[in-house]
Structure 1
Amino acid sequence: MEKADLQNLGEILSPIALGQASSRSDLQLVTGLSRVTVTQRLNLLLDAGLVIETTGTIPSGGRPSRMLALNPKSGFMLVGDIGESFVHLAAVDLDRTVIDESTLTYSTTMPPQHVLAMICEEFKRLASAASGNGVALGACLSLPTPVDYERGRVVGPSVLPGWDDLNIIEELQHELGVPSLVENDVNLMTIYEYRQNYGEIDDLFFIKAGTGIGSGIIADGRLFRGAQGAAGDIGHIQFIDEKAPLCRCGKPGCVEARAGGWAIARDLTAVGLEAENARDVLKHLRAGKPEAIMLIRNAGRTIGEVISDVVSILNPRVIVVGGTLAQAGELLVSGIRELVYQRCLPLATRELKIVVSAQFAERALFGAAYLLFENIFSGPGHLDFIARTCRPRDA
């Protein structure tokens, strides 16, 4: 198929996939094309099975129009979430329904090339299992570490030693032969929370309160990464005093060193309650240990200190608190609210909501699917998708 033909079909497919058009009249309005041209190009996409007419209808002043949608079974995406001791991988269709999935165990001490090789081999198996759902659009990996999104590289210090100089995107694309992305897990959790639960709100701030502390920013309806992808790194904002605890990053007084799950576990261990991470902290909390209750409340106030500055600068409409420690509910969030409402101007807090996220373990995995989908259909990737799906006779 000629490049011009691909671009012509892409001009119709992209707004349907991104939800900008759901009828022929919508397509005319969005593209500026004539009814005849829209019909000709749309018929090619319908014949190729990339677009379907759904059972829903749209009032049109005459006979109701059938709604148009991307065929969720016309392709699939490969997504993965690398944790600190496991890798969860999945093939999902274009509606983000899981076709097949698997979990690999690994250690952060393993050579990164070895871990990536394991992931690619499993992605290939998942792609084979999903081949009945069309072609692979691409792959996206979530990483538990700061990521330079544009360069596709880990930025240290991180919990993944040795990954800093590895071009992860290049490795994935070489092995899988499809467009590939990598992103920080908190950014992907933020994308999931926004797209899944708060799509009508353009300004959102997501806090991951777990073993570590991180955040993601939705500003004017888009993920805000900053110049090198470091925006939202609230866990390493410092509060310096004489007793400032040492953080894992090597600096004293970081928010994470005061309120992260590992820091609370450290303080519990110091008073004779064995704990290593945020999950252990919750166990002591559920057992009613007063030391755990006190430390969780203090953690909420510490997080609230830095969030009050965030509210003054970004003025979000909603703050969503997620992560393992969010299971502490109001014990944690009440401290955040206390500091935010105490320190911020009424204008910034008048309509502000601070809520606990519904617990869902796979936020980063499905955030990867949202990111990959939007990247493909808002960029040139969907032209490759059309080229691999539409046969020459359809052109």
Structure 2
Amino acid sequence: MAYVTVIDEQNSAAAGPAANALPNSAGALFQLLRDGTPRTRSDLTAMTGFARSTISARVEELLDSSLIRPAGENSSTGGRPPSTFSFNPDARSVLAVDLGGTHARIAVTDLAARVLAEKEQELDITRGPVAVLDAVGAIAMELLQEAGRSPEDLLGVGVGVPGPVEFATGRPMSPPIMPGWDHFDIPGHLRQWFPGPIMVDNDVNAMALGEHAVTYPGVANMMFVKVATGIGSGIISDGRLQHGAQGAAGDLGHIATPDGDTTPCTCGNSGCLEAVASGPAIAAQLRESGFDVPHHAAMLELVRSGDLEALRTVRQAGRQVGSVLAGCVNLLNPSVIVIGGVVSTAGEHFLAGIREAVYSRSLPLATQHLRIVATQTKARAGVLGASTLVTGHGLSIENVNRLIG
């Protein structure tokens, strides 16, 4: 089983922070066990420098809370083998919700982001917050029952939405493709089903967390770019997810493309990247060329069939994305850029267009070790990140101490 840690602005949880920098508490000791590696009391004493009696007391507290569990016995050179303890990801569960422009993916996970039950469903974000969130609540209750869990078992709920979010309140802020959602109290509405903490973030921020935790936990500087109905990015810099002053960091889709395109955008401006290189934009360009592509799903089918005009159009869209990303590369100097979203499934032609523009427009020093790759977590990036968002908060030192106390 893969064990994950979270990075965010409030909590940079890690499996092994400097022992002498941690308070003498059960929550602090728990951080040393979150990587899933079984450890003995002696191991923990050596790692922390705390008295053995203190370690024993804290271990008992964590065992009573079920956050850790016995992991067997180590071999011994004589006498009784020492007992080992490890993180118990089954102690609680997490409800993870990934809302896109036209779909929702909802999952129940354990505390290590392992999916226990999951459902994907078409769900148009333009139906408004009440209709969409009521549908989410109904699906989530079914999934909890399927997983053998209850709302009371939840450590919390994580939600990703396709627009800017005021992270402190969980309210969308002027989201371009979410009519009726501006300043809506998402946590307050969901609390009628789920009593615990409810955390809301931009969907691409959640995807960045999910991809980082599962695929690139050792990478300190990376971007996750989602290209679907809209275009956005999640930025991890120096090991932290960046929200910006008002939660608008990473809104890649509303940067103007360098070629001066004047296509109108949903945000009210023209020539935005989203207006020329998103899934609907590519489909519209193919319709103008005489193809019967009513939506971007039909566009993807055309691309996969090997149609030359469709491949050319998709590659050019990749170049448009890359031309905007080139400025991000010069500014942020990431070592990995992960491309996700439904348009990324168009295949290598789209990625090739992105790479072509980035490598030709960015400084050589910034691209010397840069990797531009397709997502490995694929459609699950959002729910994995939403789960990680919750555990990063709920399993922090302070909140573990609160759970135990």
Aligned to 1:189: 207
Aligned to 1:302: 320
What amino acid is aligned across from residue 304 of structure 1 in structure 2? Answer: G
How far has the Cα of 1:177 moved from its partner? 1.3
Q: Deviations over 1:187-212 (max 9, x none)?
A: 11111111111111111111112232
Change (3 A) 1:243 1:349: closer
How far has the Cα of 1:268 moved from its partner? 0.5
Change (3 A) 1:334 1:125: closer
How far has the Cα of 1:317 moved from its partner? 0.9
Structure 1 residues 227-236 or 119-128, which shifts more? Answer: 119-128
Aligned to 1:4: none
Aligned to 2:231: 213
Change (3 A) 1:12 1:304: same
Change (3 A) 1:29 1:238: farther
1:147·1:184 contact (CA, 8 Å) conserved in 2?
yes
How far has the Cα of 1:278 moved from its partner? 3.1
* SS of equivalent to 1:252: coil
How far has the Cα of 1:162 moved from its partner? 0.9
Change (3 A) 1:161 1:31: farther
1:58·1:66 contact (CA, 8 Å) conserved in 2?
no
Residue 172 (structure 2) pairs with residue 150 (structure 1): no
Q: Deviations over 1:340-378 (max 9, x none)?
A: 222222221111112222362121011111111111112
d(CA) in 2 for partners of 1:199 and 1:63? 37
d(CA) in 1 for partners of 2:68 and 2:208? 29
Selected match of 2:243 from 222, 225, 244: 225
What amino acid is aligned across from residue 72 of structure 1 in structure 2? Answer: P
Selected match of 1:293 from 311, 318, 322: 311
- Matches of residues 137-176 of structure 1 in structure 2 within 5 Å? 137-173=155-191, 175-176=193-194
Aligned to 1:36: 53
2:144·2:151 contact (CA, 8 Å) conserved in 1?
no
1:321·1:357 contact (CA, 8 Å) conserved in 2?
yes
Selected match of 1:119 from 136, 151, 176: 136
Q: Deviations over 1:48-80 (max 9, x none)?
A: 4331132585999x9986553221221111111
Aligned to 1:88: 105
Ranges in structure 1 where 5+ consecutive residues have no aligned partner: 1-6, 388-395
d(CA) in 1 for partners of 2:231 and 2:75? 46
Aligned to 2:117: 100
What amino acid is aligned across from residue 299 of structure 2 in structure 1? Answer: V
Aligned to 1:270: 288
2:102·2:122 contact (CA, 8 Å) conserved in 1?
yes
How far has the Cα of 1:326 moved from its partner? 1.7
How far has the Cα of 1:115 moved from its partner? 3.0
Aligned to 2:393: 375
Selected match of 2:86 from 64, 69, 76: 69
d(CA) in 2 for partners of 1:340 and 1:253? 19
Change (3 A) 1:241 1:20: same
Higher relative contact order (CA 8 A, sep 6+): 2
* SS of equivalent to 1:36: helix
Q: Deviations over 1:286-324 (max 9, x none)?
A: 222222111111112111111111111111111112222
Change (3 A) 1:355 1:295: same
Residue 71 (structure 2) pairs with residue 54 (structure 1): yes
* SS of equivalent to 1:205: strand
d(CA) in 1 for partners of 2:157 and 2:76? 38
d(CA) in 1 for partners of 2:271 and 2:391? 39
* SS of equivalent to 2:243: coil
What amino acid is aligned across from residue 264 of structure 1 in structure 2? Answer: I
Change (3 A) 1:263 1:284: same
How far has the Cα of 1:232 moved from its partner? 1.0
* SS of equivalent to 1:99: strand
2:126·2:177 contact (CA, 8 Å) conserved in 1?
no
d(CA) in 1 for partners of 2:232 and 2:373? 16
How far has the Cα of 1:127 moved from its partner? 4.1
How far has the Cα of 1:22 moved from its partner? 4.5
Ranges in structure 2 where 5+ consecutive residues have no aligned partner: 1-23
d(CA) in 2 for partners of 1:275 and 1:319? 29
Structure 1 residues 140-149 or 88-97, which shifts more? Answer: 88-97
Change (3 A) 1:107 1:305: closer
d(CA) in 2 for partners of 1:329 and 1:226? 32
Question: What is the TM-score when the length of structure 1 is the normalising length?
Answer: 0.86
* SS of equivalent to 1:53: strand
RMSD, aligned CA: 3.0
* SS of equivalent to 1:268: helix
Change (3 A) 1:171 1:306: same
d(CA) in 2 for partners of 1:296 and 1:248? 21
What amino acid is aligned across from residue 17 of structure 1 in structure 2? Answer: R
How far has the Cα of 1:255 moved from its partner? 0.9
Count of aligned pairs between the two proteins:
381
1:265·1:274 contact (CA, 8 Å) conserved in 2?
no
Change (3 A) 1:87 1:12: same
What amino acid is aligned across from residue 194 of structure 2 in structure 1? Answer: L
d(CA) in 1 for partners of 2:377 and 2:144? 29
1:17·1:377 contact (CA, 8 Å) conserved in 2?
no
Q: Deviations over 1:198-238 (max 9, x none)?
A: 11111111111223221111111121111111111111101
